[in-house]
Structure 1
Amino acid sequence: MKSCFITGASSGIGRALACHYAHNGWRVYAVARSEAALQELSLEHSTIVPMACDLTDSAALSTLVAEITADCPSLDLVILNAGTCIYVDAEQLQLSDFEQTFAINFFAIVALVPLLLPLLKAGQQSQLAIVSSLAHVFPFTKAEAYGASKAAVSYFTESLRVDWSGNGVDVCLIEPGFVDTPLTKKNEFDMPFLISSDEAVKRISQGIAQRRARIRFPKRLVWSLNVLRILPYRLRLVVARGMKP
C-alpha cells in the first residue's frame, strides 16, 4: 500500500486530497490542528490516520514525524498544503499578522522538509509537493502578508528542486488560483475563475501522477496573470488599483 502525508487535511483542498488518496487505496497520514475534524475524516476512510498537530510548534513536528517513522518506514508522497490568509490594512500594518502568516505558510514547510526527507528517500520514486498560490504573481489588494509568504514558498520550492536533483525525490510546486474553500469564503472581492475543491484535487492529483515539476491552474487565470505581467509597470498598477473593493 502506498503512503502519503498531507498537512492542512481538516478542510478545503487538504481534506479533499486526503479523501482522494484514501479512496484510491493509499494510507494517508492526515495532519491538521483540529483533532475533531480529523477524527471525523478517519471515520469516513479506514486508511486515513488522523494526526493532530500545531505546525508552528517545532517540538510537536519532531514528535509527529517520529510517530510516523515508527508506523511507516517510508513515504511515497508528501503534500505540504496547510496555509492561512490574513488580509492587512496597509496604513496600519501589524507585524503580528506577518509573523502568523509566515509561521504557517512558510516556516512550517521549512521545518518539516528536513524532518520528512529520510522517509522520502527511503521510498521508491517518492515525491514532495508543496502548495503555494498564484497570488504572488500579481499585487492583489490587502495581500501583503499572504502574497509575500507564497512568494517565499514558491522560490523555496524551486530552489529546493535544484539542490535535490539526483537525490531520488521529485519536487513539485503547486500554484492554484482561487479555489472555493473555507479560507476563500471570507474574501470580500471578486475571485475570477473560481473552481471547486474537487476540481482542484483532480488537477493536482493528475499533475502529481504525471510527475510534473509545477502545477498551475486554472489556465484562464494563469494566462490572464501572464498578460498582466508583461504590461508596462504603470499600467499594471492601474489594473491592480482597479481591483480594490
Structure 2
Amino acid sequence: MKILITGATSGIGQQLVADYACEGHHVIACGRNAEALKKLADEFPDYVETLQFDTVDREKTIELLGSINQIDVAILSAGVCEYLDIDSFDAQLFERVFTVNVQGTMNCVQGLLRTLQPGSKLVLVGSLARLLPFTRAQAYGGSKAAIHYITRSLEVDLAPKGIRVLSISPGFVKTPMTDANDFEMPMRVSVDYASQRIRKGIEKNKRDIGFPTIFTLMLKTMSILPQAWQVAISKRMSKGNE
C-alpha cells in the first residue's frame, strides 16, 4: 500500500512510519523536522520518502499533497497540545491549538481530496479528551471534538466517492508531548501499542479506533451520563490532580 502520514517526526506518527515500512509498505512521511525526516529515510531507504512542510502553511500543504499520485491510506496525525491556566486566560492559546489541530488538518484534507480515489482511506486523529469536560483542556479537547465532528461529516459526504473516513481516538500515549504533562495519566500506553491498534483498526475499516479499550469504555460510558454528573466527575478528577 501507499500510505501518507503527517506528524511523522515524533510520537505516534513516527512509530506508524517505522511499522508500516517494516511491513514493506511505501510510506510518505510528512513533517516539519528535516533532521528527523532524513533519519527515517536513511533507516528505511527502500520504503520511506519524505515531504517537509508545516500543515499550517495552507498553500504549500495543498500544493505538495495535491501533487502526489494515488494514496491508499492518509493518516493525519500532526497536532499540538496546550493546557489553559484559568487564572491567566489566554485566548491566543486557543488560536494556536485550533490553527494546528483543526485548520492544519483541513489544509491537508483539501490537498488530499485531489488524489484520493475510490477505495482510499482518510484517517483523522482525534482524542478521547473530547468525551468529558476535563480541567484545563478547553483548547485541546475543543479542537479534538471539532475534528471528531468533521470526521463523521466527511464520512457522509465522501461515501458516494467510495472514500472511507476513519477516526482515531487515543487515550494517553507516551510521547514527547505527553511527557510534558504535569498530572497523572491513567492507563498511558506506549507508541508501539498505539501503532498496533491503529494499524489493525485501519485494516478492519473500524470507524472509530479508540484505545486503550478499558479507558475508552469508561469515558464513553461517562459521556452519556447527565451533563451535571459529567461536570461533577471532572471536578473530582481535577482535585485529584492538584
- Class of the TM-score when normalised by the shorter of the 2 chains: over 0.9
Correspondence 1:118 to 2:114: yes
Correspondence 1:12 to 2:11: yes
Gaps of 5+ in 1: none
Q: Residue in 1 aligned with 2:102?
A: 106
The CA deviation string for residues 86-127 of structure 1, in whole angstroms up to 9 with x for no partner, is 111123221211111011111111121121112111xx6211
Give the Cα–Cα distance (whole angstroms) in 1 for the partners of residues 12 and 3 of structure 2: 15
- Structure 1 segments (4+ residues) deviating >4 Å: none
Work out whether residues 62 and 107 of structure 2, in 8 Å CA contact, stay in contact via their aligned partners in 1.
no
Change (3 A) 1:62 1:229: closer
| TM-score (normalizing by structure 1) | 0.93
Q: What RMSD, in angstroms, separates the aligned Cα atoms of the two structures? A: 1.3
Partner SS, residue 4 of structure 1: strand
Amino acid at match of 1:98: F
Give the Cα–Cα distance (whole angstroms) in 2 for the partners of residues 93 and 64 of structure 1: 37
Q: How many residues align?
A: 238
Give the Cα–Cα distance (whole angstroms) in 2 for the partners of residues 207 and 111 of structure 1: 25
The CA deviation string for residues 136-179 of structure 1, in whole angstroms up to 9 with x for no partner, is 10111111100000000000000110111121111101111111
Q: Residue in 1 aligned with 2:62?
A: 62
2:209 to 215, 228, 237: 215
Correspondence 1:162 to 2:159: no
The CA deviation string for residues 198-242 of structure 1, in whole angstroms up to 9 with x for no partner, is 000000000000111111111111121133224443333222112
Deviates more, 1:226-235 or 1:185-194: 226-235
Give the Cα–Cα distance (whole angstroms) in 1 for the partners of residues 186 and 214 of structure 2: 9
Give the Cα–Cα distance (whole angstroms) in 2 for the partners of residues 156 and 232 of structure 1: 24
Gaps of 5+ in 2: none
Partner SS, residue 142 of structure 1: coil
